[in-house]
Structure 1
């Protein structure tokens, strides 16, 4: 077959498309706490990885092509009930969507709390700070770095947005079927147990000392449960929010409670509820792509371009 100029042009165009697609999916890693961990969940020296259900705190950075980069960035916290997480599936699948919009996307592989909430929170805060620190290098406007949380990662994101806003000054938050409250009956019990620990039980046989210890432990537990029920911590300074959830998600009330708190405090917020899809859907996977993925993308794009 004769190799014509037309053939060569087609090959060149196809190669450019492939290279562009590859660039859209490429990432590099930034390890956190290179000078040493500030705290531990008790498993940090026993190995990392899915088999150990513990993750070395690392950021995967997906940058858009320079010609379309608009300076915005999003630090994403994937879900997994604070027991495990799948950053590839519940975080990185969003990268192509954001990169096509010119937005840098940073996915955090964070340590599991194992009842020590400060461990996971410190990883999230450090990831946000590191993104600001590298803003110029990565072509990011340090004042345009938002956060995204998926499922239990939504609880982590809303924790930063409510408890650490004075410190971090986050401009916006995106919450995908988030866990928000630690209160019954709407909480995800597994996430709560893993984040602050299980509800203490009285020791038997009961003694005066054991009863006193139990009452103190119970008081501490209830205090933490209220403190990290983030719908109770919203203020006028909480960043604007985009919330997406399915109507048939058994955790849907978490989104509703948070939206109501934002609305009460006059924080700009939108809540999109889709007819079905349950919990754990994705927008960019071949095997189980969400039926309303296109609508999510369109509504999220419009929201991001509105400010």
Structure 2
């Protein structure tokens, strides 16, 4: 397969959207956080063996997207490991949880359909997310049908819970709406949704994160271990919330080395 000279940009839902967040009539405009659902595919250098791939879901409280340091900036790191990086630009839920979920599922379906063309292994596609994007990633990891469930998950300072005690209030309101029932909150508190099909996980966060409390990660890690799912969790002493690929994150080099080492374990 020829090496791609530049990323491949693909619009999702070219035959029409399956649902709405009520914003489409305004016209897509990234500056207004009205995102056109799409993926940007960064393929590694050509190899004889099909590559692994990872979907990247930027965060932003389900209200905006940090497309650079929680998205595009990660492509070189994965490509250097021989892994395809696919950055997902998903629509904001605006109270309709089905909107970002369906965008993620469609992106995975599309990648599997084009796996041969892109020289990726359709059975080795993982998902990664940051903050609310990590809630979307963990939702896919715990709620997707078996054929769309990812092979692994990478979660940075993740929103896991929708419950008021641990959850991030803004993400919950955006994802579930203002009047979500306790039953619905529990359904999308993903520490309760781990099962034997949940993929292995890498989790990284800062101890002093006040945006999304560390108990989100701890409870998810505990749920994974109860089901004997392989998982690694790294809690850095400082850094707060939202560091992604930023050079200003004090433990950036350590985090990248630990992620690289984890990716070599399977």
TM-score by length of 1: 0.82
Q: CA deviation at 1:278?
A: 0.5
Match of 2:66 in 1: 86
Please say if residues 68 and 102 of structure 1, whose CA atoms lie closer than 8 Å, have aligned partners that are also in contact.
no
Structure 2: tracts of 5 or more residues without a match: none
Which of 26, 30, 33 does residue 50 from structure 1 map onto?
A: 30
Which of 254, 257, 264 does residue 226 from structure 2 map onto?
A: 264
Q: CA deviation at 1:125?
A: 0.4
Which of 178, 181, 185 does residue 221 from structure 1 map onto?
A: 181
- What is the aligned length? 262
Match of 1:66 in 2: 46
Superposition CA RMSD, Å: 1.7
Deviation sequence 1:98-125 (CA, Å, 0-9, x none):
0111100000110000000001100010
Q: CA deviation at 1:28?
A: 1.7
Please say if residues 156 and 244 of structure 2, whose CA atoms lie closer than 8 Å, have aligned partners that are also in contact.
no
SS of equivalent to 2:69: helix
- State how far apart, in whole Å, the 2-side matches of 1:252 and 1:131 are: 32
Match of 2:17 in 1: 37
Regions of 4+ moved over 4 Å: 67-70
In structure 2, the CA distance between the partners of 1:169 and 1:194, relative to structure 1 (3 Å rule), is: closer
Q: 1 or 2, which has the higher strand percentage? A: 2
Q: CA deviation at 1:152?
A: 0.3
Q: CA deviation at 1:51?
A: 2.6
Match of 1:300 in 2: 259
Q: CA deviation at 1:64?
A: 1.0
Structure 1: tracts of 5 or more residues without a match: 1-19, 200-219
SS of equivalent to 2:36: coil
Match of 1:207 in 2: none
Larger Rg: 1
1:235 lines up with 2:215 in the alignment: no
- State how far apart, in whole Å, the 2-side matches of 1:111 and 1:221 are: 23
- State how far apart, in whole Å, the 1-side matches of 2:182 and 2:110 are: 33
User: 1:1-307 counterparts in 2 under 5 A?
Assistant: 26-67=6-47, 71-199=51-179, 221-250=181-210, 251-283=213-245, 285=246, 288-307=247-266
Please say if residues 70 and 103 of structure 1, whose CA atoms lie closer than 8 Å, have aligned partners that are also in contact.
no
Deviation sequence 1:143-196 (CA, Å, 0-9, x none):
110000111000000001111152413210000111000112211100000000
Please say if residues 142 and 193 of structure 2, whose CA atoms lie closer than 8 Å, have aligned partners that are also in contact.
yes
Q: CA deviation at 1:69?
A: 7.2
- State how far apart, in whole Å, the 1-side matches of 2:150 and 2:66 are: 24
SS of equivalent to 2:198: coil
